[in-house]
Amino acid sequence: MNSMIVGYGGVIAALAVVVLAMELSKRKTASFSDYATGGRSFGPFFATMAFLNTWLPGAVFVAFGGLTVSAGLLGFQGLFYSLLAVILMFLLARPVHEWGRAFDLRTQADLLGLRYNSRAVRVVSAVIGIAASFPWLVMGMQSLTLVFEYLSFGAVDAIGAVVVGILVVAVRQIWTMRFGMRGVMISDMVQGLLAYGLGFVLVLGFGTWLVTNGHGFGAVQPALYGLPGPDSAAGGLYVFSLVLTGTLGGWCWPDIFVRLFTARSTATIQRSAVQAAPALLVFSGALTVMTLLASSMPDVASAPDHVWFLVARHLGPVALTLAGICVVMATMGNVSANLQALGTQTVNDILGVARGEKVETPRAGRIAVAVFTVAAAGCALALAGAQAGLFVLAMISYQGICQLAPTLFFGIFWQRGNAIGAVASMIVGLTAAAVLQMSYPLSIPWLGGLTSGAAALVLNAAVYIVCAYAFPGSAEERARIDGLFDRLRVPRRRPLVEPAFD
C-alpha cells in the first residue's frame, strides 16, 4: 500500500505542477484565432517543447520499446522518420507561417481551403483528419493502463487501471478546454521537460544498470542487429514504407500541423526544428539503445511492451514511479494537443463552413473540446476490453491520414495542383489504403513489402498529378495562386506582434 501511495502520489504531484504552471500563465483569450493558435506568440523554446511533446507520445516508452525488443533495429525507424519530418518542418515553416499570419489561418484544413480556394478540399481534409485522429485519441486515453497497473504495485487490476487512466486523462483536459492552445503550449513545456528530460536521465540510469548486470551489447540476439530484407516475411520495401509514411504522414496529423501556426515567426519554427533534431536524436536514440539492451532480460522478452516498466521495477518503487510519470507526461501532451486540434478543426472547418461564417469567439472551441473529451472517454471506457479491434481501426486510420500528404505537400511546394486533383486524390488514396490495409495488415507481398499506406500514396500522387495537368484551371485562379506564392518571395520582415512567450 505504501508503494502505491508513492506511485499514484508521484503522478498526482507531477500533474499538479503542470496545472499550476498553466494557471500561473493564464491570459484572457480574446478570440477564436487566439484560442486555436495561442496568438501566434511563442518563441523557439516553447515551439520545440510543444513539437516534441506532441510528436513523442507515451507510446515511445511502451509500443516502440516493445517493437525494439521484438524486432531490434526496426525500432530505430521512429527516429529515422522523426528526423526526416523535422527537415520537412524546416521547409514548411515559411509558406505555412506566412500564409497563416496573412490570412488568419487556424488549422491545416483552413490552409488547404485557402491554397485550393475550395470548401470541398477544406471539409474533406478536416473530416479525414478528425476521423483518423479519433481512434488514436481513444487509444491514447487507454494507454495509461500499464502505468496505473504497475504503480499500484498489485493493488489495482488491469480493468481498474484502464478506468483510472481514462479518468485522469479526462480530468486533465478541463485545463485544455479552458485555456486552448496557449494552455497546451505551456503544459507541453512542463510535460516535455518531465517526459524527455527526466526520461533521458532514467534511460542513462537503466542503460548503466543493464550493462553492469550482464545485459550488454554482446547479450543481444544477433538477429536483432538487422532490418527486414527481400527474403523476410515483411518484404524488402517494408522499412522504406514505414519511414516514408511516418515522415509524410506525420505532418498530416492536425495536432502536429497546427504547431506551425503557434510560433511567432518563420525563423522561430526553423530554429525550433534545429533544436528539436538533436533532442530527438539524443532522447530517442538512447531510449532505443536501452530497450535493445533490455531485450536480453527473460521477463522483458516474454512481455516486450512492458520493457520500460520491467527495467524500472528492478531499480525499486521510486524508479518505477519516475518511469510512470514520464509516460503520463508524454501521453498528456499528445492527448491534449489532439483534443485541442480536433475541437478547433471541427468548429473552424466544418461548423464554420456549414454556417458560411468565420468563427470568432473561443466559446465554440471550448464546447467542441469538451464534447470530444467526453466522447473519447466514453468510447475508451466502453472499449476497455476490445483493444484489439480498436488497434485495427487505428492502423487503418494511420494509413488513411497519410493520404492527405500529396494534397498537402504538392499544394504547398508546387503551384500547379488544383482542387479537383486534391479531392480526387484524397478520396482515391483513402479508399485504396483502407481496402489494402484490411487485406494486408502488415505489408503487400506482391508489391515487395510496401505497406497499404505507401502503395495508396503512389496511386494518390498519380491522381493528383494527372488532374493537375488535365484541369489547368482558369487564368483568374492561376493568378490567385501566383499571388499566394509571390508573398513568399518578398523580403522577410520582423513580426508585427512582439512575442508573449520566449
Give whole-number Cα distances, 56 to 1, 60, 125, 188, in Å. Answer: 32, 6, 24, 11
* CA distance linking residue 366 with residue 345, whole number of Å: 12
- Residues 271-290, mask of contacts with other proteins (x by CB under 8 A): x-xx--xx-xx---x--xx-
CB nearer to other proteins: pick between 252 and 430: 252
Q: Which cell numbers in the block locate residue 339?
A: 483534443
Would you say 89 and 257 are in contact if contact means Cβ atoms under 8 Å apart? no
Would you say 162 and 371 are in contact if contact means Cβ atoms under 8 Å apart? no
Give whole-number Cα distances, 383 to 166, 292, 376, 387, in Å. Answer: 12, 32, 10, 7
162: left (phi over 0), alpha (psi -120 to 50) or beta: alpha
Q: Per CB under 8 A, does 478 bind other proteins?
A: no
- Residues 215-244, mask of contacts with other proteins (x by CB under 8 A): --xx-x-x--xxxxxx-----xx-xx--xx
Min dist. Cβ of residue 438 to other proteins (A): 25
CB nearer to other proteins: pick between 69 and 128: 69
Min dist. Cβ of residue 477 to other proteins (A): 16
**Greatest pairwise CA separation for the chain in angstroms:** 74
Ranges within 356-385 binding other proteins (CB under 8 A): none
Q: Per CB under 8 A, does 492 bind other proteins?
A: yes
CB nearer to other proteins: pick between 178 and 416: 416
Would you say 191 and 333 are in contact if contact means Cβ atoms under 8 Å apart? yes
Report the residue from 62, 86, 311, 369 that binds other proteins according to the rule CB under 8 A.
86
Q: Per CB under 8 A, does 471 bind other proteins?
A: no
Min dist. Cβ of residue 323 to other proteins (A): 23
- Residues 400-439, mask of contacts with other proteins (x by CB under 8 A): ------------xxxxx-----------------------
DSSP string, 39-57: GG-B-HHHHHHHHHHHHS-
Min dist. Cβ of residue 38 to other proteins (A): 24
Residues that bind other proteins (rule: CB under 8 A) add up to a total of 49
Write down how long the chain is: 502
CB nearer to other proteins: pick between 86 and 436: 86
Question: 167 in helix, strand or coil?
Answer: helix
* CA distance linking residue 155 with residue 151, whole number of Å: 9
Question: 501 in helix, strand or coil?
Answer: strand
Report the residue from 16, 87, 174, 351 that binds other proteins according to the rule CB under 8 A.
87
CB nearer to other proteins: pick between 225 and 391: 225
Would you say 37 and 260 are in contact if contact means Cβ atoms under 8 Å apart? no
Report the residue from 36, 52, 69, 83 that binds other proteins according to the rule CB under 8 A.
83
CB nearer to other proteins: pick between 84 and 434: 84
Question: 450 in helix, strand or coil?
Answer: strand
Q: Is 2 exposed, middle or buried (0-12, 13-18, 19+ CB in 10 A)?
A: exposed
- Residues 26-65, mask of contacts with other proteins (x by CB under 8 A): ----------------------------------------
Binding site for other proteins (CB under 8 A): 73, 76, 79-81, 83-84, 86-87, 90-91, 94-95, 217-218, 220, 222, 225-230, 236-237, 239-240, 243-244, 270-271, 273-274, 277-278, 280-281, 285, 288-289, 412-416, 485, 488-489, 492
